[in-house]
Amino acid sequence: MFNKKTIHDIAVKDKRVLVRVDFNVPIKDGKVADDTRIQAALPTIKYLVGEGASLILCSHLGRPKDGPDPAFSLKPVADYLGDLVDSKVSFVEDCIGPKAKEAVDILKPKEILVLENTRFHSGEKKNDPEMAKELASYADVFVNDAFGSAHRAHASTVGVAEYIPAVAGLLLEKEIEYLDQAIEKPKKPFVAILGGAKVSDKINVIKNLLTKADTVLIGGGMANTFFKAQGYPVADSLVEDEVLEIAKELVEAGGLKLRLPVDVVIADGFSDDASKKVMWVGPVPEGWRILDIGPETIENFCKVISSAGTVVWNGPMGVFEMPNFAVGTFAIAKAVADSGAISIIGGGDSASAINKSGLADKISHISTGGGASLEMLEGIQLPGLVALQDK
């Protein structure tokens, strides 16, 4: 049950509303290359405009190093948004300071103003009260709809909520409800699939899921660390030596619940043209590396997935950006899509893989936030959510 106030609980007619959106989208040649996160924000934006509010949208984009950098400007995103909505959309090249204030002052009801990248100011990541106060001064109400940034205690996600009433947007509500239900009240059997490069990012996620899921399937680069922890040399494969001991403990704690690949696809180089072969899990020959799960593992994992009631998937099974090593990831994507289970894909590469496979419409929920969904799977409370008003 979502226990925070949402945009349905407040009156916004003729009010200024500051909305923290997640417009952290890929920009290529000055154009938006993937609009998934922009599309995800539209229900909240259109609802607020329809209710007669004037909207001030703020977001970060990328990781600019020091101050403003044209490569990380939100201007292309503002232009793109202008084509998706009926409202007038304007852009201002700062998020605080006189230019921003001037642009806010002339904003009319039902118009939208996109502020420049919040991370152009160091106060954003430090959750600087002065920056938060200035952002809050633009509006009567704050709406957080940026699930992808809800795990960050920044000025534009948490700080502003200190100064004006703060509620959740529709996307944030939907994300939390799906993930919360999957973890706390899953339809059984509950199967978690974890992949991607690093075990270190997911140690606490695995620990938490071993207490809740019926089966935890492990693939991707992170499986290599488990193999090495079991005493198999992995040659040139990606491995995290610093967490071998923890990987060993997880295998012991997981027992029959934790399932690792039984066979893998290895290659003699990190490229799509490399020679490849399938081998049973064991010592990897010198000069070779593991880049995907093997056919027997695919069959085993798909069998588990086919009888699931709930599936949560975070992280690909191999180097899916290379067609020769994408077989495992796409097979798992198809199994999840065909399972009929409540299926939740946790952002980032897994979401990209599902979109590439053309199966996105068969998934119950594709999360817009990789890091935030991982923290929820870990059982951590998200600061951006905690800061909002309770119902």
Look at residues 190, 171, 240 and name the one whose alpha carbon lies nearest to residue 22.
171
Tally of CB atoms within 10 A around 56: 25
Cα–Cα distance list, 359 to 335, 339, 370 (Å): 10, 12, 19
Question: Using CA atoms, how far apart are residues 371 and 391, in angstroms rounded to an integer?
Answer: 26
Residue 37: active-site member: yes
Strand 54-58 vs strand 27-28: parallel, antiparallel, or unpaired? unpaired
Q: Kindly name the residue from 198, 248, 257, 276 that is annotated as catalytic.
A: 198
Question: Using CA atoms, how far apart are residues 35 and 223, in angstroms rounded to an integer?
Answer: 32
Dihedral sign from CA coordinates of 48, 6, 152, 175: negative
Question: Using CA atoms, how far apart are residues 206 and 146, in angstroms rounded to an integer?
Answer: 25
Long-range pairs for 267-274: beta carbons < 8 A, 24 or more residues apart:
267/291, 267/324, 267/325, 270/319, 271/322, 272/322, 272/323, 272/324, 272/325, 274/324
Instruction: Report whether the peptide linkage leading into residue 189 is cis, meaning its omega lies within 30 degrees of zero.
Output: yes
Dihedral sign from CA coordinates of 136, 138, 139, 144: negative
Are 164 and 39 within 8 A, CB to CB? no
Q: What is the 3-state secondary structure (H, E, C) of 325-357?
A: HCHHHHHHHHHHHHCCCEEEECCHHHHHHHHHH
Q: Kindly name the residue from 348, 369, 370, 384 that is annotated as catalytic.
A: 348
Rounded to a whole number of angstroms, the CA Rg of the chain reads 22
And the tokens for 163?
A: 């100064």
Residue 347: active-site member: no
And the tokens for 263?
A: 């066979």
Question: Using CA atoms, how far apart are residues 300 and 328, in angstroms rounded to an integer?
Answer: 12
Which residues have C-beta within 8 Å of that of residue 270, sequence separation ≥ 6? 289, 291, 319
Q: Kindly name the residue from 62, 269, 371, 379 that is annotated as catalytic.
A: 371
Are 48 and 143 within 8 A, CB to CB? yes
Q: Kindly name the residue from 4, 16, 20, 37 that is annotated as catalytic.
A: 37
Angle between helices 170-184 and 370-378 (to 10 degrees): 40
Residue 198: active-site member: yes
The residues carrying an active-site annotation are 37, 198, 348, 371
